[in-house]
Amino acid sequence: MTERSVPERQFRKKVRVIACGMIGREVLAVNRQLGHDHVDLKCIDANYHHHPDKIAPAVDRAIRKARDEGYEHIFIGYADCGTGGELDKVCAAHGVERIEGPHCFSFYLGNQAFEAAGDDMMTTFFITDFLARHFETFLIRPLGLDRFPELRETYFAHYERALYLAQTDDPELEARARAAAERLGLRYERQFTGYGELATALAPL
């Protein structure tokens, strides 16, 4: 078999995607849709979103490890995610790119659309498929709302609605998202986004 007749995908170089655990399932789904069998995913603990100062150092360590393992091509599956530009410094130091946007809610919705919405987003609590699936373990327990439900008024006093940005059409997840909104005492809305600009970011890989 000549080189010219071998399928192009066999010559693709392996790519390491270092992603937030909150979007790991979605990264895998997009790569399946794109036929990216050359992409290797490594996730960083989703709970770091409760401690965003840990994200940039964790990504730095993960990039160094990937380089040690021989990966030349690395992509960062994070937006800024509350790092205040620290993640961009890590990316610049290693010569790698990340997903554009301030956070996953923005790139799911579309960064331009999110920015255009302006003040409407200031009083919005966002729910994604991940949060609908892990609402109790990722939000309620870490915030202590299972033990001290009265804290809800402290944490969510300035929110007016819960907007479910749905990556999939899943009736069970929608029911969970609606229940989460009710538990937080917020008006429920749903918008189907699919994978948004996550798919756009991963396509060139």
pLDDT above 50 (res 8) = no
Chain segment 43-53, per-residue pLDDT in tens: 999 999 999 99
pLDDT above 80 (res 4) = no
Average pLDDT over residues 23-42: 97
Give me the pLDDT at residue 12, please. Answer: 65
Q: 55-68 and 86-94 helices cross at what angle (nearest 10)? A: 20
Average pLDDT over residues 136-160: 95
Residues 169 and 171: their CA atoms lie apart, in Å, by 7
Instruction: Give the domains, in start order, of the chain with CATH numbers.
Output: 3-99 (3.40.50), 105-192 (no CATH)
H/E stretch holding 126: strand 124-127
Chain segment 94-144, per-residue pLDDT in tens: 999 999 999 999 999 999 999 999 888 999 999 999 999 999 999 999 999
Average pLDDT over residues 51-78: 97
